[in-house]
Amino acid sequence: MDIRYSAHFNDYKTYTTRQLRDEFLISGLYADDEVSAVYSHVDRMVALGIKPVRERVPIDKGIDVWANFGTHSFLERREVGIFNIGGSGEIEVDGAVYAMGAKDCLYVSMGAKRVVFASADPERPARFYAVSAPAHKPCETRHITLAAAAKRPLGTAEASNKRVINQFIHPDVLETCQLCMGLTVLEPGSVWNTMPAHTHERRMEIYTYFDMPEGSAVFHMMGTPGETRHIVVAEGEAVISPSWSIHAGCGTSSYSFIWAMGGENKEFDDMDALNVSDLK
């Protein structure tokens, strides 16, 4: 497991492009029949990529659970949200099997002991993207389709940010301890995912970008409002966004992204809004 430690906003101002990418960008999430995991000390969130091809892959494959969490199983004191952004697959949770189509989500409660991933067709394997947060009590494990997610249309074509925010793991949909996750889909011709930007002083966020045409990129904006930077992000990569950082992005074409939040509360609108003129 790759461990990322917290960075202070004064330190980050001196980072080179290489240091920014090493600290905040998550690459190489999807290796055949493996689990790739990054543990961020920002609110102790874990981002995972699981790509089962010809094997059934457990969530803790290759992870020393005791060394990283001090527990006997991955979800002993954690909850996890999982999206499928590839071909059809399934997830087995303690004997219960959930069929996972494209853009389906599964919330798995704290206390689940066995979580195993599989693809329906090795020629079109599933790609499971997951984010796990510390938890304090069991909740209900639940499968959520794109149709069942709460919808929040935002933006305009004129501002190049017309999009639909699909809230999957959210208080309006189901109970969790602290984890919130959703999937935002940009309309064709729209490229900005969040502008004007904002920060979350009480919560961190992780973005992962996908549905990107070959050869395209997203310029993910981060940093303090008066000292912004960008990270060029490719298909399937993710970015860790500390609470002091803005998180917005502009693509060379339309795309989709999954956002995951953890921290002090689950209030979607608890954000510190900024004007474009505040950014430097």
Q: Tokens 């004191």 sit at which residue?
A: 77
Q: Kindly report, residue by residue over 36-72, the tens digit of the pLDDT.
A: 999 999 999 999 999 999 999 999 999 999 999 999 9
Is the per-residue pLDDT at 193 higher than 80?
yes
Q: What percent of the chain has pLDDT over 90?
A: 91
**72-81, 142-151, 199-208, 230-239: range with lowest mean pLDDT:** 199-208
The CATH number of domain 2-278 is 2.60.120.10: yes
Mean pLDDT of the chain: 95
Kindly report, residue by residue over 230-256, the tens digit of the pLDDT: 999 999 999 999 999 999 999 999 999
* Cα(84)–Cα(266) distance, integer angstroms: 23
Helices (H), the chain: 9-12, 17-24, 65-69
Q: pLDDT band at 217, cuts 50/70/90?
A: very high
Tokens of 88: 């059809």
pLDDT at site 50:
98
In the predicted structure, residue 228 carries a pLDDT above the cut 90: yes
Between CA 178 and CA 187, with CA 182 as vertex, the angle to 5 degrees is 160
The C-alpha angle with vertex 85 and arms to 84 and 90, in degrees rounded to 5, equals 30
Q: Are strands 238-241 and 180-186 parallel, antiparallel or unpaired?
A: unpaired
Domain ranges of the chain: 2-278
Whole-model pTM above 0.85?
A: yes
Pairing relationship of beta strands 248-251 and 218-224 according to DSSP bridges: antiparallel
